[in-house]
Structure 1
Amino acid sequence: MECLVTPRLVLHPMSVEEALKLTADEPGGNAHWAPGYPTEADTAGALRYLETCEGAGDPQPFGAYEILRREDGRAIGGLGFHGAPDLDGTVTIGYGLVPSVQGRGYATEALRALLLFARAQGVTRAKGDTAHANIASQRVMTAAGMSLVAEDAWLKYYAVEWLPDV
């Protein structure tokens, strides 16, 4: 699986070995990790990816990705799919960045690339959610082309839909 490249980022598809290292909680981490990486969300995403691999096999290209800055190659966060598309062609996405790089447009840039990739793979709908208080994440999903489609007492739900290629 090839990396997805944007002007400032490389979205690197995570391997099982890389996910295992990320979840190992080794002191000092890895030399290519930015300070604060991995976050709890990155670890949770890697664990979800490993569980999917164990249960149904590696879902790549619909797995986990590390977000790397092109300028220095450091991992600054993660994003990806919660698994392969369902029977309706829908995927669920998630993403996050280390606090030190938030507010620079990296999450929007990464999510746009992931959504374009999903569409090119025949996905017809992508969805995600965020807490009511997470205004930054709501802005990211909106800027990446997703729309608010529902909300409940805890979360706001976003989605983007594309017509199937004919």
Structure 2
Amino acid sequence: MNNEPLSLPKRVRFVELSAKALRALADGDLAGGSAEAGVALDEHFVGDRARWIFGYRADQLAKDPSAAPWITRAAVSVPDGAVVGDAGFHGPPDEGGLVEVGYTVVPRYRRQGYARAMLRELLVRAAAEPRVRTVRARIGSDNIASLASIEGFGFTRVGEQGNEHDGLTLIFELPADAMRAG
């Protein structure tokens, strides 16, 4: 008999990263980005990947402020309040009702269920929006952890794309009707 306690699924809440917070982070200003977000972010939020992504998202918001409810947010663990990553959509639903998810877990919190918790919350958000018809996830073929994270959510592999820089990326989609049903 195993006497270890059962591990409950992780839970997260999202904290908006305003255009001002995103710009501060893109500029490497961790203190300013944290102050603007109202949560203590860590070095993950000013690393090379984050600086590029957050700069892109800040520019996106400058062009289209209505995208704010859809794009990158800090993921905060419930109930302890640790910032465990960032997640969001690449933008609002397109003309066909497609949204694409993106999420990253702070390295010290990986392999603890936070990616699944973030994805679960993103799918709840997408299911609540009548304009969403499909959720897409693109995952590098060698990203075993992320491929495992989407298992059990009902995603179907619909294609792949590749290039010399990024390698092979697998494309998965989940119809909104399936999200709303289950």
Contact in 2 for aligned 1:32/1:75 (Cα 8 Å): yes
1:57–1:10 distance in 2 versus 1, CA, 3 Å = same
Taking only the aligned residue pairs, the percentage that are identical comes to: 23
- Listed one character per residue, the Cα deviations across residues 127-164 of structure 1 (whole Å, up to 9, x for unaligned) are 02111110111111223332222124411111101239
Supply the distance in 2 between the matched residues of 1:39 and 1:97 (Cα, whole angstroms). Answer: 13
Provide the aligned length of Structure 1 versus Structure 2.
160
TM superposition score normalised by structure 2:
0.76
1:105–1:124 distance in 2 versus 1, CA, 3 Å = same
Supply the distance in 2 between the matched residues of 1:94 and 1:27 (Cα, whole angstroms). Answer: 21
Given candidates 11, 17, 22, the residue that maps to 1:19 is 22
In structure 1, the residue matched to 2:150 is 141
Contact in 1 for aligned 2:70/2:91 (Cα 8 Å): yes
Given candidates 107, 111, 116, the residue that maps to 1:99 is 107
Q: Give the number of the structure whose residues are more often helix, by fraction.
A: 2
Contact in 2 for aligned 1:34/1:74 (Cα 8 Å): no
* 2:165 corresponds to 1:151: no
Given candidates 67, 73, 85, the residue that maps to 1:77 is 85
TM superposition score normalised by structure 1:
0.82
**Unaligned runs of at least 5 residues, structure 2:** 1-8, 163-167
Letter paired with 2:170: K
Letter paired with 1:157: I
Task: Kindly indicate whether structure 1 or structure 2 has the higher relative contact order, using CA contacts under 8 Å at least 6 residues apart.
Answer: 1
* 2:57 corresponds to 1:49: yes
**Unaligned runs of at least 5 residues, structure 1:** 1-5
Larger Rg: 2
Letter paired with 1:25: G
- Which stretch shifts more, 118-127 or 55-64? 55-64
